[in-house]
Amino acid sequence: MVDNSTVMESGRCIECGARETNGYSCYELFEFPLVWEHNDPKLYELHFWLVSCYMIQHPSNYTEKGYKHLVNLFIDAYDNNWDTPYILKKNREMVKSVGKITNPIPNEERKRGLRLWSMTIEDIYLGGEQNAIENINKWKDQIRNDLIL
């Protein structure tokens, strides 16, 4: 499978630093919990957090304004303990004022920079489906702490 969403060099994602694990790229590791969500409604309730944690660690997917929007939405939702329907409502409202949020530059031409995060999708994958809820909640906490720095 060709992965056009992340760039791996020397076995590491050049944006988040996740290691290639069991032959899977960073993006391919992300696909596992997306599938696991379909087996567990409680896990699916964390979909916003799973996706936003991953995307915050891969800013090349966004315009500069789009990335700031994502980070601000994450921080507001986390700090105010918003439930998912409210997060999605606020997202729709905010996107209208931001405009285009996804990066229009072709994937292979995007600028990427490495930021080492305290936790990545690699940790979610290695923890397995049985620990996904606990680990996504930890990841959410870690991302929030890392955004303070």
What share of the chain in percent tops pLDDT 70? 96
- Asked if 18 contacts 121 with a C-beta cutoff of 8 angstroms, the reply is yes
Predicted pLDDT of residue 93:
85
Cα separation, 33 vs 127, whole angstroms: 10
Average pLDDT (65-92) is 93
Give the number of domains in the chain: 1
End-to-end CA distance of the chain: 36
**In Å, how far from its chain's centre is CA 146?**
13
Q: Give strand pairing partners of 62.
A: 102
Residue 14 counted as domain residue: no
Q: What DSSP line would sit under 8-53, residue for residue? A: EETTEETTT-PBPBTTB-HHHHHHHHHHHGGG-HHHHTTHHHHHHH
- Would residue 15 count as lying in a domain? no
Mean pLDDT score of the chain: 91
3 in a structural domain: no
Residue in 119, 118, 131, 129 with CA at minimum distance from that of residue 32: 129
Task: Note whether residue 100 is domain-resident.
Answer: yes
Mean pLDDT in residue range 11-40: 95
Within a domain: 77: yes
Q: How confident is the model at residue 148 (pLDDT cuts 50, 70, 90)?
A: confident
Average pLDDT (135-145) is 97
Domain extent, residue 103, equals 26-107+115-148
Confidence band (pLDDT; 50, 70, 90) for 91?
confident
For position 100, what pLDDT does the model report?
78
Predicted local distance difference test score (pLDDT) of residue 2: 37
- At residue 3, the pLDDT reads 44
Residue 95 falls inside a structural domain: yes
Q: Is residue 6 situated within a structural domain?
A: no
Q: Check residue 149 and give its pLDDT.
A: 58
Q: Does residue 124 lie within any of the structural domains?
A: yes
